[in-house]
Amino acid sequence: GYPELGMGRLTQYVTDGAGFASFASTTAFKEYVAYIVRPSYAMHERMGILKTTITGQTLPENMSFRNFLSGRVLWDEAMAAASASWVNENPKGQLIALIGGDHVKFGCGVPARCARQIRGDNGLNSVRTLMLNPRVADTVADPTLVSRTTAESGNWLSEYTLQLRYTATGAPPAVTAGA
């Protein structure tokens, strides 16, 4: 988790401490954690890969959700900080980043973190995301639970989940087609 990094190392990944802290209190971020990060943790757990860190370190027991979330958030923040830094240094340039789907779903991973760190009034208006060749599994909370039978039947539309941004308190995390 964060405490183990120490402030010196943490600031290498988090260049905007105040924005980083306030980002975690938004409704959108909480829904991102519930709909994207928690299912990802569960999938990693079922696959039996929570005892190995991204650096290859073997843990005596499964990584806690807190540490998994910390790692995911720092990973997103580091990608966003590097992207925003380049955009800020090249205001007439165009940055294209190819990153994993869970880091862009619902805009609360890297895109919103990058937008937060872009100087000026551009922010979210200058960041766009696009999922290449999305599949049914890309629209559900846990892609390992998508039925192969459903995919083979070609009944795709009824299985897609629309990813809508919202700010209203109590709004549903997703709207399922046909509902």
Q: Are 110 and 117 in contact (CB under 8 A)?
A: no
Mean pLDDT of the chain: 76
CA angle 143, 70, 21 (to 5 degrees): 115
The residue whose two tokens read 């990060």 is 37
For the segment 93-128, what is each residue's pLDDT rounded down to a tens digit? 889 888 888 888 777 789 889 988 998 766 767 788
Alpha-carbon gap, residue 139 to 177, rounded angstroms: 11
Q: Pick the more confident residue, 78 or 178.
A: 78
Q: Annotate the chain with three-state secondary structure.
A: CHHHHHHHHHHHHCCCHHHHHHHCCCHHHHHHHHHHHHHHHHHHHHHCCCCECCCCCECCCCCCHHHHHHHHHHHHHHHHHHHHHHHHHCCCCCCCCCCCHHHCHHHCCHHHHHHHHCCCCCHHHHCCCCCCCCCHHHHCCCHHHCCHHHHHHCCCHHHCEECCCCCCCCCCCCEECCC
Tens of pLDDT, residue by residue over 119-176, are 876 676 778 887 776 766 666 665 555 554 454 555 444 444 444 444 444 444 443 3
What is the rounded distance in angstroms from the CA atom of residue 123 to the CA atom of residue 130? 17
What CA–CA distance (Å, rounded) separates 37 from 75?
12
pTM (two decimals): 0.73
Identify which of 73, 149, 151, 88 has the alpha carbon closest to the alpha carbon of residue 118. 88
* 142 Rama sector, left if φ>0, alpha if ψ -120 to 50, beta otherwise: beta
